[in-house]
Amino acid sequence: MRLPHVQRFHHSANFLSGILPVADNVSPEVRSQMMSGIRNRNTQPELLLRTALHRRGYRYRLNVQGLPGKPDMVLPKWRAIIFANGCFWHRHDCHLFRWPGTRQAFWEEKLNANASRDAHNLEQLTKAGWRVGIVWECALRGKHSRKLEDIIDQCADWIESNRMGLEVRSNE
Ligand code: ZN
């Protein structure tokens, strides 16, 4: 899956300016990791995912404010929620994640806080009776990504099952 570079840069530039007042101080390595992140809404991989699910007939609501973690996709009919997680921002243990080489304390605190929040949100959602699926960025893009059709098959199986959790990651 190839992403248009110009467009990705455009999204990410907006995204960075909102979250990091000192984006200019970020090393090229960190910057490229951030840019690959899909914490930003409406990035290409997430769009592909939800367009494909929609084509299969699944209906969802986007970025639901009232639920913990503001889930990317909520499928009320199936009592299911899907997050499309960026591997950098959500500290995934995969090839797309690397600890930044600069401002280490800052990043450690920030990314660890993100991970704690994710765990807390998952617990809250589960307690409220939601089933929660996570599709990782590395499944959707990068050198170990999987075929979109396979990812959608896996999501569809899960949505229509009564299993609580789903995690889709790269073939690494
Ligand atoms: Zn990953």
Q: Give the CATH number, domain containing residue 85.
A: 3.40.960.10
Domain enclosing residue 18, as ranges: 5-168
What pLDDT score was predicted for residue 166? 98
What pLDDT score was predicted for residue 13? 35
Q: Average pLDDT in the 135-154 region?
A: 95
> Residue 146 C-alpha to ligand 1 middle, in angstroms?
12
DSSP-derived pairing of the beta strands 80-85 and 61-62: unpaired
> Residue 136 C-alpha to ligand 1 middle, in angstroms?
5
Say how many domains are in the chain: 1
Ion ligand 1: residues, Cβ under 5 Å: 87, 92, 94, 96, 136, 138
pTM of the model: 0.77
DSSP-derived pairing of the beta strands 165-168 and 131-136: parallel
Greater confidence, 4 or 81?
81
Q: pLDDT of 63-108, one tens digit each?
A: 888 999 999 999 999 999 999 999 999 999 999 999 999 999 999 9
